[in-house]
Amino acid sequence: MADKLSHLDETGAAHMVDVGGKTETRREATAEALVKMSAATLKLAVEGQLKKGDVFGAARIAGIMAAKQTPRLIPLCHPLPLDAVDISFSVDETASTVTVTATAITTARTGVEMEALTAATVAALTVYDMCKAVEKGIEIEKIRLIKKSGGKSGIWQR
């Protein structure tokens, strides 16, 4: 763990980190979010029976769009040229959950963790939005970084 927070200067004021001296490397990050709902709602989503349409198609596009907008949403994030963003869904009918997994890839001077986390979160929010007409009590939890690679710190995995 770092000795100090990189986004705070010596006075404690927030600032954007200067990454100009870093080497560009391929960087990849994977994040996930868990969406919990009733079995009946999950069945409707999986079978494409909700009035708003294709839950997972809409959530996939929303997650990709969110990754591309991360520096507009998170104040101190650097705008990054994204090489790829992948959003996938794993349905667990027994637990009545959907795991949203987002992977973001770039070749840049700084990591792409925030893009992956933003993508997973917005995709999960879109699942909620698509399903809320039939169930208001859907829960989104466990938004977390799973893995990151690239840069001087190498590979980190949960």
* Cβ neighbours of residue 2 closer than 8 Å, sequence gap 6 or more: none
> Coil, strand or helix: which one is 136?
coil
**What whole-number distance in Å separates Cα of residue 24 and Cα of residue 42?**
42
The helix (run of H) or strand (run of E) holding residue 66 is helix 55-73
Question: Among this protein's residues, is 83 annotated catalytic?
Answer: no
Q: How far is CA 52 from CA 45, 121, 135, in A?
A: 10, 20, 13
Q: Please identify every residue annotated as catalytic.
A: 129
